[in-house]
Amino acid sequence: MSEPTEASEPSETGGAAATAARGAQLLGGEDFSFAAAIGGPRGFVESILPGLVFVVAYITVGGFQVPVIASVVVVVAMVAARLIQRTPVTQALSGVLGVALGAVWAWRSGDAGEYFLPGLWINAAYLAAVLITMIVGWPVVGIAVGLLRGLGTSWRKDRALRRRMQLATAVLAATFLLRLVVQVPLYMSDNVAALGTAKLAMGVPLFALSLWVMWLLVGSVGRPQAARDQPQQT
């Protein structure tokens, strides 16, 4: 089984690099670990805590100043904790950009709902980029699996494999689309509490589920038959 790694996901704006690296590693592996997909216990906490604190502060206090300040303080505290413990700060820092962008946006507008706007734009950009790779016939999942498993571009010569790579990439696109379909109406209706809750639920948990489905579709590509016959680890 893959060992859990501490890496924070997604905040869409901040954890992109960590998310892509972790997802690619799991897609290229021989088995799948949900613990690794969520970034390990500490990575999971670090990825959701700023958003959770923002939502709780908004519900209990209201306004935009206290929720924004609280989320920023949490991120700073997480980074400081890793510095004190002399553990890699990359995991905590990966969410700093997302929180910073949201905080600046909300502070400038004086609207707590604007905290979530950068994430919506980033999801839209990701969706567009993934769809382009599918349209041009180079689905991003196929490229990643080909590189990680030493297949190069040989998978493109097999029609069945191309379809599997397209389907797996479509799952990734659907993840970004679903976030937008659910969260944009909440943003437009200024339902900040529901938007924050939806963002949390559709961050790490949805990412891990989507990654598992993608792995089921492409996990056996390029592996020996004996490895394919082994029980799948989750």
Domains contained in the chain, number: 1
Ranked by mean pLDDT, which of 28-32, 35-39, 48-52 comes out on top?
48-52
Whether residue 5 lies inside any domain: the answer is no
**Average pLDDT over all residues of the chain:** 81
pLDDT of res. 225 = 46
pLDDT of res. 222 = 65
Angle at 182 between CA 176 and CA 184, to 5 degrees: 90
Whether residue 6 lies inside any domain: the answer is no
Whether residue 42 lies inside any domain: the answer is yes
Indicate whether 186 pLDDT > 90.
yes
Indicate whether 118 pLDDT > 70.
yes
Whether residue 11 lies inside any domain: the answer is no
Residue 32 banded pLDDT, cuts 50, 70, 90? confident
Query: 174 or 12: whose pLDDT is higher?
Result: 174
> Can you tell me the mean pLDDT for 19-24?
66
Other Cβ atoms within 10 Å of 183 Cβ, number:
21
pLDDT tens column, 209-226: 999 999 999 877 766 443
Query: 182 or 30: whose pLDDT is higher?
Result: 182
Indicate whether 122 pLDDT > 50.
yes
Whether residue 88 lies inside any domain: the answer is yes
Query: 181 or 25: whose pLDDT is higher?
Result: 181
pLDDT of res. 173 = 96
Indicate whether 164 pLDDT > 50.
yes
pLDDT of res. 195 = 93
List the domain range (segments joined by +) for residue 145. Answer: 16-228
> Can you tell me the mean pLDDT for 183-187?
95
Record the tokens describing residue 231, joined without a space.
């029980």
Dist. CA 227–CA 125, nearest whole Å: 37
Record the tokens describing residue 31, joined without a space.
């088995």
pLDDT of res. 89 = 66
78 in Cβ contact with 42 (< 8 Å):
no
Record the tokens describing residue 185, joined without a space.
């109406």
Indicate whether 5 pLDDT > 60.
no
